[in-house]
């Protein structure tokens, strides 16, 4: 919303610096920036006359001109434009002109000819995009005059109006706020409404069949108008606030709109069948062509203004082509109506049409004084501008007048909500300047009448806000506060923090991915959750919510691989979402951890040969993470997913709480990954539920351990896990650990289909230092057992 | 011979030793002082000339001198004598082991930095779902149906009647509906807006919501808390401006600007020459919100605030395309 300072001054004296005014309005809730309307022509550009032109001796496309800039001196200027003509007036940038912040015009020689300035094209002055030739000016421009004089600039305020303040979408609205700031009164501009014979009721008929959508419809008629371009003062005012002048009637309506904030519509009375106005809701499927040349199919949500036969406007949204005011219009019907905000909003959504008028109506316009003032003011203005005659009286369909609301403001409430100490007089002055009426003033309260142009105010707290925002600087800042401390503190954030610390400690980078994914990605989720659909997606690439952590991480993998990043180690904590019709939100959220890795184990280094992180790397991380949390998980092979070389369900308390796997090498061939792709996903939310911080410590061992190595040769098919379990079970009471530390395969030495595994067994007693003899028996027994059961032999 | 002579000899020796840079010179020095015809031997030979009382003292002094010089020469000898090729040679200028370093996402770091401050100011952390009901996301927060305030936040709707939360504010009413005042929380999380993705906006971003409800809370408490937060987070010299604004769920409402941390308020491209950066919205909890969760609005009042993380972080890090935060390029992530 743009308001012009010049225009504001019609209604209030402004005697404080404009920067200060803008700042104070901003603090009071009307965020605004002080700007200049129009185009700022640089100083040094003058109106000049081309006296003579001749072709440039050394350049085919250039000409050399003699130019009179009114200073007495005749300039020599080289010009490349095809349309430079002797005798015409042109804008000339003289030497020293700053055409851009970093471009100051200098005297130069162009191919040997002196050039003492520049004849400008439209685009060079920021006036348009035309660079086909220089600007040729009307002959009545004055030679030597600064060109900027023909492009006056006006100070304006660019105001960001919040959604609750329809009243601020006008000059009047700002004037009321300025009145609080400066203490100066708001003066409405008087106008003269001269009615002529013939009562409006004899001219046309109005009926409202849908009062729920249109509580008030009010009209005036102006006859015998002459449609013309508006006078300069009106054109300039509209242009200064960013509106394009059309003709005197349309411009007058826009003028009153910008003044009061009340949207008005003008019909060509002679194009209305009847002439009659009927207000009704559309019938489903009804067609109508709006001013924007769109043929629209309507629904019963749309409120229509019709004549005796056809619709002529979408109420509160846009007029129709058929009844538009044009150059031949003679008689005007002015519509000044109040439409129900929610009705206009629904119609606007239904037609996907948001206009300046609809924005105002859906926020709520003034059904009472504002509506009447705007109607009469427009009639008077049209009569003045077009020479038309205002028909006698108004037609005003307003069966149930909307009363002004009232509320009591207890002065203690101002203090208890804002902390500001304000006197009743002070509150009163603020409210009155804003247009509120003080109905009754008690010692510690004010009964306030709320004007109908303020639909956002109805309760005491709203009045508190009115007072508070206009005294923001008086709100004290508490330096010492007594606060209530919670009884218990959240433990989830520390848990996620611990998780993040763990994974960054292992050299992983934390990723953050979009929760919105494509249908393909949502369907490929590793958990097989039914995906939740977005009903109004931005694109098909983002029409579902992620059902796992892995799919979005694969997206990050792609980004990195395409940029030839060799080491990619990512983890992410986020919600994955499962469609769940039984939930109140239609969704069930799982807070998960995803890990993805295609990387070397360590950077290229002289200390170690390069090695890739693989499934066992991820498995090691899983084991350590579970160790950190105090869980013992089991892995269960999962052969369901063809994309994986190997995939395991991570089992805890008989539930699948995670997945860990390595993708098949050919699965991402196109990405030319340099290392195997391994992933892991954990249901972190579940782990958090089950997690209990370690309560008791275990005393460090008091006696030393005895270590025994066991190297066994066996069939390749014997699984390491089976052997470890066996050893742990059969190893006697002193065995505390069995570490598999080597695997060796050599068909010649060991035989086909054989492998050698080496274990380091750790024995320890809580009560004594063990002797070798105590272990020898166990080892013998253990070996026998493994020999019998698994055909293992010593290596 | 006396103490002065001996200390003079000692001084000469030290000076000469300093100038010795190879084994041969050291050997010569040793010979000159400790050899059979060296200076020490010469001094010993002159003890005979002293009186019997002085002899003892001089003998002690000379013995000490001899021991000191021997020790000094031995120390030097050790340094020169071990031939280089025989020592185990390690070049400690070689680079260290190349372990990988991990990193937290800069957004997480920023959120954690802020949560850290709020926790010290006595706030607990609370959470809410990302798929919300219309009631929690809008209606409980005093967004009436068919009200233009809903247009302030372009909403994603999900099948089954949910919405992707457009702000962290529903955590306010979620938390209040299961807790009684006093309560003092901050709620971090993802929020979603149905806005075309560009360098300046993304459909996903992060917010931190704050809420304090108790007896006798005023805007002055809010101001005190926020100003303290800003000084702790942006530095103690930051200037803070409250200006009136509108949010359906607070009344009165305000936006908070802080002086630009790049230019200090003079005006620069980051603050668009204004000298100020808009960092959060806040206000006193609207009585309608307290009513929605059946709180006694006469007894309790409260304040709420909400701040966006991405824009602040982008200004801080000089990021001009928000998408870099969600691409997860490791060359970006590893910088933090």
Whether A464 and B252 lie within 8 Å, measured CB to CB: yes
Does residue A638 form part of some domain?
yes
Instruction: Count other Cβ atoms within 10 Å, centred on residue A404.
Output: 16
Bond prior to A515 in cis (omega within 30° of 0): no
pLDDT at A248: 94
Cα–Cα distance between B280 and A245 in angstroms, integer? 39
Residues of the domain holding A69: 45-150
- Orientation angle between helical segments A248-260 and A369-386, nearest 10 degrees: 150
Residues A276 and A419 in one domain: no
Residues A555 and A671 in one domain: yes
> H or E segment at A749?
helix A747-750
Residue A698 lies in a domain: no
Taking residue A593's Cβ as centre, other Cβ atoms within 10 Å add up to: 23
| Residue written as token pair 């609080």 | A180
d(CA A15, CA B302): 39
Kindly list the distances between the CA atom of residue A770 and the CA atoms of A150, A261, A767, A777, in Å, as whole numbers in the listed order.
106, 95, 9, 13
Instruction: Say if residues A320 and A288 touch (Cβ distance below 8 Å).
Output: yes
CATH code, domain with A770: 3.30.70.380
User: Is B1 an interface residue toward A (CB < 8 Å)?
Assistant: no
* Residue numbers in A near B204 (CB within 8 A): 514-516
CATH number of the domain encompassing residue A505? 3.30.930.10
Measured torsion, CA atoms of residues B286, B287, B293, B294, in degrees rounded to the nearest 10: 170
Contact assignment for A478 to B221 by CB distance below 8 Å: yes
CA distance B212 to chain A (A): 9
Of B203, B220, B251, Cβ closest to residue A461: B251
Is there a contact between B125 and A507 if contact means CB atoms under 8 Å apart?
no
Query: How many residues appear in chain B?
Result: 336
End-to-end Cα distance, chain B: 72
Contact between A275 and A219 (Cβ < 8 Å): no
* Cα–Cα distance, A319 to A289 (Å, whole number): 9
Structural contact between residues A136 and A89, judged by C-beta atoms closer than 8 angstroms: yes
Nearest to A465 among B214, B251, B334 (CB): B251
Q: What is the rounded CA–CA span in Å between residue A271 and residue A319?
A: 13
Mark whether A462 and A531 lie in a shared domain: no
Q: How far is A493 from chain B (nearest CA, A)?
A: 7
CB contact under 8 Å between B129 and A589, yes or no, is yes
Residues B211 and B172: their CA atoms lie apart, in Å, by: 7
Give the whole-angstrom CA distance, residue A555 versus residue A546: 12
Residue of A nearest to B189 (CA): A574
Tell me how close the Cα of B59 comes to any Cα of chain A, in angstroms. 58
Give the residue on B whose Cα is nearest the Cα of A28: B244
Q: Residue B137's closest chain A neighbor by CA?
A: A585
Interface list for B 117-136 with A (CB within 8 A): 121-122, 124-127, 129-133
* Residue of A422, A414, A417, A458 whose CA lies nearest to B301: A417
Give the contacts of A210 (CB within 8 A, at least 6 positions apart): A279, A280, A281, A303
Backbone phi and psi for residue A174, each to the nearest 5 degrees, phi listed first: -65, -35
Is residue A769 within 8 A of residue A703, CB to CB? The reply is yes
- Say whether A464 and B203 touch across the interface (CB within 8 A): no
Q: For residue A362, give both structure tokens.
A: 């859906």
B168, B216, B304, B330: best mutation site toward chain A, by most A Cβ within 10 Å?
Answer: B330
pLDDT, tens digit, 9 for 90 and up, residues A678-704? 999 999 999 999 999 888 898 899 999
Contacts of A590 (CB under 8 A, 6+ apart): A527, A575, A576, A577, A578, A683, A685, A686
Interface of B with A in 183-242 (CB under 8 A): 183-185, 190, 192, 194, 196-197, 202-204, 212, 214, 216, 218-221, 223-225, 227, 241-242
Nearest to B144 by CA among B248, B250, B245: B248
Integer Cα distance of A230 and A380 in angstroms: 15
CA angle, A30 then A33 then A38, to 5°:
130
Of B99, B220, B327, the CB nearest to A478: B220
Residue pointed to by tokens 């763990």: A502
In whole angstroms, give the CA distance from residue B185 to residue B52.
93
For residue B86, the model assigns a pLDDT of: 56
Most A CBs within 10 Å, among B94, B98, B163, B175, to test the A interface = B98
Interface of B with A in 148-167 (CB under 8 A): 148-149, 151-152, 156-162, 164
Of A364, A345, A360, A286, the residue nearest A320 (C-alpha): A286
For residue A484, is it within any domain? no
Domain boundary among A641, A663, A690: A690
Optimal mutation site among A166, A180, A480, A512, interface B, most CBs of chain B within 10 A: A512
Does a structural domain hold residue A386?
yes
Name the residue among A359, A417, A497 with its Cβ closest to that of B301.
A417
Together in a domain, A256 and A385: yes
Q: What is the pLDDT of residue B1?
A: 64
Same domain, A582 and A677: yes
Half-sphere exposure of residue B88: CA atoms within 13 angstroms, side-chain side = 0
The answer to whether the CB atoms of B103 and A504 lie below 8 A apart is: yes
**CATH value at residue A7:** 3.30.56
> Does the distance separating the beta carbons of B330 and A565 come in below 8 Å?
yes
CATH code, A296? 3.50.40.10
A631 and A505 within one domain: yes
Helix (H) or strand (E) holding A588: strand A587-598
Distance (Å, whole) CA A732 – CA A37: 92
- Tell me which chain B residue has its CA closest to the CA of residue A163: B149
Whole-number Å distance between alpha carbons of A134 and A83: 7
Q: Which residue of B has its CA nearest to A362?
A: B148
Last residue of a domain, one of A371, A397, A423: A397
pLDDT tens, B48-73?
788 877 788 888 888 888 888 888 88
**DSSP state, residue A290:** B
In chain A, which residue's Cα lies nearest the Cα of B301?
Answer: A417
Candidates A490, A514, A553; nearest CB to B124: A490
Distance CA A241, CA A1 (A): 8
Q: Are B203 and A510 a contacting pair at CB < 8 A?
A: no
Residues of B in contact with A559 (CB under 8 A): 327-329
Question: B85 to chain A nearest CA, in Å?
Answer: 23
Helix, coil or strand: residue A382? helix
Residues of chain A short of pLDDT 70, as ranges, are: none
How far apart are the CA of B254 and the nearest CA of chain A, in angstroms? 8
**Dihedral Cα B29, B32, B35, B39, nearest 10 deg:** -130
Asked if residue A454 is part of any domain, the answer here is yes
* Distance to chain B for A197, nearest Cα, Å: 43
A483 within a domain of the structure (yes/no): no
Asked whether residue A657 falls in the same domain as residue A572, the answer is yes
pLDDT digits (tens, 9 = 90+) for A616-642: 999 999 999 999 999 999 999 998 888
In the three-class reduction of DSSP (H, G, I as helix; E, B as strand; rest coil), residue A630 is classed as coil
Same domain, A422 and A455: yes
Pick A486's closest partner by Cβ from B124, B224, B328: B124
**In total, how many domains does chain A have?**
6
Helix (H, G, I), strand (E, B) or coil at A448: strand
- The parts of chain B modelled with pLDDT lower than 70 are 1, 81-88
Query: Cβ B252–A418 below 8 Å, yes or no?
Result: yes
List the 83-112 stretch of B: residues with Cβ below 8 A of A.
Answer: 94-95, 97-105, 107-108, 112
Nearest CA in chain A to B120: A485
- Residue A450, CB-side half-sphere exposure with 13 Å CA sphere: 19
How far apart are the C-alpha atoms of A692 and A493, rounded to whole Å?
15
b vs e for A606-619, b when ≥16 Cβ sit within 10 Å of the residue's Cβ? Answer: eeeeeebbbbebbb
Which domains does chain B possess?
A: 3-86 (1.20.58), 106-333 (3.30.930.10)
Please name the member of A341, A500, A584 whose beta carbon is closest to the beta carbon of B104: A500
Count Cβ atoms within 10 A of the Cβ of residue A747 and give its class: 0-12 exposed, 13-18 middle, 19 or more buried. Answer: exposed
* A701 in a structural domain: no
3-state SS string over chain B?
A: CCHHHHHHHHHHHHHHHHCCCCHHHHHHHHHHHHCCCCHHHHHHHHHCCCCHHHHHHHHHHHHHHHHHHHHHHHHHHHHHHCCHHHCCCCCCCCCCCCCCCCECCHHHHHHHHHHHHHHHCCCEECCCCCEEEHHHHCHHHCCCCCCHHHHHCCCCEECCCEEECCCCCHHHHHHHCCCCCCEEEEEEEEEECCCCCCCCCCCEEEEEEEEEEEECCCHHHHHHHHHHHHHHHHCCCCCEEEEEEEECCEEEEEEEEEECCCCCCCCCCCCCCCCEEEEEEEEEECHHHHHHCCCCCCCEEEEEEEEECHHHHHHHHCCCCCCHHHHCCHHHHCCC
Q: CA B15 to CA B9: how far, in whole Å?
A: 10
Size of interface A-B (CB pairs under 8 A): 279
Domain match, A370 and A419 both? no
Residue A769 Cα to chain centre, angstroms: 70
Q: Is B151 exposed, middle or buried (0-12, 13-18, 19+ CB in 10 A)?
A: middle
Same domain, A440 and A387: no
Residues A539 and A665 in one domain: yes
Query: Is residue A482 a part of any domain in this protein?
Result: no
The residue among B117, B252, B256, B281 with the most chain A CBs within 10 A of its CB, best to mutate, is: B252
Q: List Cβ neighbours of B81 (8 Å cut-off, separation of 6 or more).
A: B23
Render pLDDT for A292-347 as a digit per residue (tens, 0 to 9): 999 999 999 999 999 999 999 999 999 999 999 999 999 999 999 999 999 999 99
For A445, residues 6+ apart whose C-beta sits below 8 A from its C-beta are: A408, A409, A410, A411
Residues A413 and A497 in one domain: no
| Residue A94: both structure tokens together | 């003289």
Domain final position from A372, A397, A422: A397
Helix (H) or strand (E) holding A23: helix A18-27
Of A469, A481, A542, the CB nearest to B224: A481
Contacts of B152 in chain A (CB under 8 A): 163
Q: What letters, b where the CB count within 10 A reaches 16 and e where it falls short, cover A509-525?
A: bbbbbbbbbbeebbebb
Whether residue B131 and residue A532 make contact (CB cut-off 8 A), yes or no, is yes
């Amino acid at each position: 919303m743009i308001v012009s300072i010049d225009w504001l001054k019609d209604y209030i004296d402004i005697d404080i610096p404009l920067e200060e005014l803008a700042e104070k309005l901003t603090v009071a809730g009307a965020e605004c920036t002080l700007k200049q309307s129009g185009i700022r022509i640089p100083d040094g550009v003058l109106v000049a006359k081309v006296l003579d032109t001749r072709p440039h001796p050394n350049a085919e496309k250039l000409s050399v001109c003699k130019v009179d800039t009114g200073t007495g001196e005749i300039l020599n200027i080289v010009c490349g434009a095809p349309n430079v003509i002797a005798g015409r007036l042109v804008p000339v940038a003289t030497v020293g002109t700053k055409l851009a912040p970093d471009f100051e015009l200098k005297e130069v020689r162009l191919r040997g000819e002196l050039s003492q300035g520049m004849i400008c094209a439209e685009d060079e002055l920021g006036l348009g995009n035309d660079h086909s030739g220089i600007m040729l000016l009307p002959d009545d421009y004055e030679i030597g005059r600064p060109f900027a004089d023909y492009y006056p600039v006006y100070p304006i305020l660019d105001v960001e109006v919040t959604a609750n303040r329809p009243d601020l979408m006008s000059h009047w609205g700002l004037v009321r706020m300025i009145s609080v700031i400066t203490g100066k009164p708001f003066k409405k501009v008087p106008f003269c409404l001269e009615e002529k014979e013939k009562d409006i009721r004899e001219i046309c008929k109005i009926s409202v069949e849908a009062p729920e959508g249109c509580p008030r419809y009010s009209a005036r008629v102006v006859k015998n108008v002459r449609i013309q371009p508006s006078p300069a003062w009106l054109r300039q005012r509209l242009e200064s606030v960013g509106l394009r002048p059309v003709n005197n009637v349309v411009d007058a309506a826009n003028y009153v709109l910008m003044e009061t904030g009340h949207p008005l519509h003008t019909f060509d009375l002679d194009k209305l069948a009847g002439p009659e106005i009927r207000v009704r809701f559309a019938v489903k499927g009804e067609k109508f062509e709006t001013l924007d040349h769109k043929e629209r199919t309507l629904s019963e949500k749309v409120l229509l203004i019709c004549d005796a036969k056809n619709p002529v406007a979408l109420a509160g949204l846009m007029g129709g082509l058929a009844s538009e005011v044009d150059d031949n219009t003679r008689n005007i019907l002015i519509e000044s109506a109040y439409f129900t905000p929610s009705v206009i909003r629904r119609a606007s959504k239904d037609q996907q049409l948001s206009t300046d008028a609809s924005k105002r109506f859906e926020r709520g316009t003034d059904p009472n004084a504002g509506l009447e003032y705007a109607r009469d003011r427009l009639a008077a203005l049209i009569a003045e501008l077009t020479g038309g005659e205002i028909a006698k009286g108004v037609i005003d369909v307003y069966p149930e007048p909307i009363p002004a609301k009232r509320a009591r403001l207890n002065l203690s409430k101002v203090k208890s909500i804002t902390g500001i100490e304000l006197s009743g007089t002070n509150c009163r002055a603020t409210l009155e300047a804003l247009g509120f009426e003080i109905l009754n003033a008690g010692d510690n309260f004010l009964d306030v009448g709320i004007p109908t142009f303020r639909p956002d105010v109805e309760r005491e707290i709203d009045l508190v806000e009115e007072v508070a925002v206009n005294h923001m600087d008086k709100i004290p800042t508490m330096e010492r506060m007594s606060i209530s401390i919670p009884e218990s503190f959240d433990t989830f954030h520390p848990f996620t923090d611990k998780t993040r610390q763990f994974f960054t400690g292992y050299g992983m980078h934390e990723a953050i991915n979009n929760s919105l994914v494509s249908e393909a990605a949502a369907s490929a989720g590793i958990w097989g959750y039914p995906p939740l659909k977005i009903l109004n997606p931005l694109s098909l690439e983002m029409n579902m919510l992620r059902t796992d952590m892995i799919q979005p991480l694969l997206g990050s993998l792609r980004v990195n691989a395409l940029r030839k990043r060799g080491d990619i180690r990512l983890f992410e904590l986020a919600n994955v979402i499962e469609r769940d019709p039984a939930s109140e939100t239609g969704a069930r959220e799982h807070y998960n951890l995803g890990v993805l890795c295609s990387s070397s184990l360590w950077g290229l280094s002289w200390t170690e040969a390069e090695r890739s992180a693989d499934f066992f790397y991820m498995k090691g991380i899983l084991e350590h993470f579970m160790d950190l949390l105090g869980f013992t998980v089991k892995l269960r092979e999962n052969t369901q997913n063809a994309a994986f070389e190997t995939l395991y369900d991570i089992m805890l308390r008989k539930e699948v709480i995670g997945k860990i796997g390595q993708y098949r090498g050919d699965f991402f061939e196109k990405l030319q990954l340099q290392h195997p792709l391994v992933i892991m996903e954990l249901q972190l939310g579940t782990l958090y539920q089950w997690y209990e911080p370690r309560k008791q410590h275990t005393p460090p061992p008091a006696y030393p351990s005895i270590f025994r190595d066991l190297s066994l040769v066996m069939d390749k098919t014997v699984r390491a896990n089976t052997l470890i379990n066996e050893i742990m079970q059969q190893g006697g009471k002193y065995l505390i650990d069995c570490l598999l530390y080597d695997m060796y395969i050599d068909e010649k030495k060991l035989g086909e289909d054989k492998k050698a595994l080496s274990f380091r067994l750790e024995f320890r007693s809580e009560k004594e230092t063990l002797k070798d003899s105590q272990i020898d028996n166990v080892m013998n027994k253990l070996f026998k057992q493994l020999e019998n059961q698994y055909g293992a032999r010593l290596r | 011979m006396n103490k002065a002579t001996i200390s003079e000899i000692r001084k000469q020796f030290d000076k000469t030793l300093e100038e010795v840079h190879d084994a041969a010179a050291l050997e010569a020095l040793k010979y000159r002082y400790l050899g059979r015809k060296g200076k020490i031997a010469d001094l010993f030979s002159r003890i005979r000339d002293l009186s019997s009382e002085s002899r003892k003292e001089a003998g002690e002094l000379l013995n000490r001198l001899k021991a000191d010089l021997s020790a000094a020469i031995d120390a030097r000898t050790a340094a020169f004598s071990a031939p280089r090729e025989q020592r185990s040679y390690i070049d400690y200028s070689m680079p260290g082991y190349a372990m990988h370093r991990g990193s937290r996402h800069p957004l997480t770091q920023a959120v954690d930095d802020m949560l850290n401050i709020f926790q010290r100011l006595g706030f607990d952390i609370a959470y809410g779902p990302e798929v919300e009901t219309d009631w929690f996301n809008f209606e409980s927060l005093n967004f009436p149906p068919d009200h233009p305030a809903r247009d302030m936040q372009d909403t994603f709707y999900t099948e089954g009647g949910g919405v992707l939360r457009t702000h962290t504010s529903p955590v306010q009413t979620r938390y209040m509906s299961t807790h009684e005042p006093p309560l003092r929380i901050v709620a971090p999380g993802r929020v979603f807006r149905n806005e075309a993705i560009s360098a300046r906006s993304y459909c996903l971003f992060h917010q931190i919501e704050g809420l304090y409800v108790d007896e006798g809370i005023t805007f002055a408490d809010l101001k005190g808390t926020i100003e303290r937060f800003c000084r702790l987070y942006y530095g103690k010299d930051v200037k803070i401006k409250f200006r009136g604004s509108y949010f359906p769920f607070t009344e009165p409402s305000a936006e908070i600007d802080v002086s630009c941390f790049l230019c200090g308020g003079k005006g620069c491209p980051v603050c668009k020459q204004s000298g100020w950066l808009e960092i959060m919205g806040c206000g006193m909890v609207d009585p309608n919100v307290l009513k929605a969760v059946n709180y006694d609005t006469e007894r309790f009042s409260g304040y709420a605030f909400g701040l966006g993380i991405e824009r602040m972080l982008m200004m801080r890090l000089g990021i001009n395309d928000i998408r870099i935060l969600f691409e997860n390029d490791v060359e970006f992530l590893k910088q933090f």
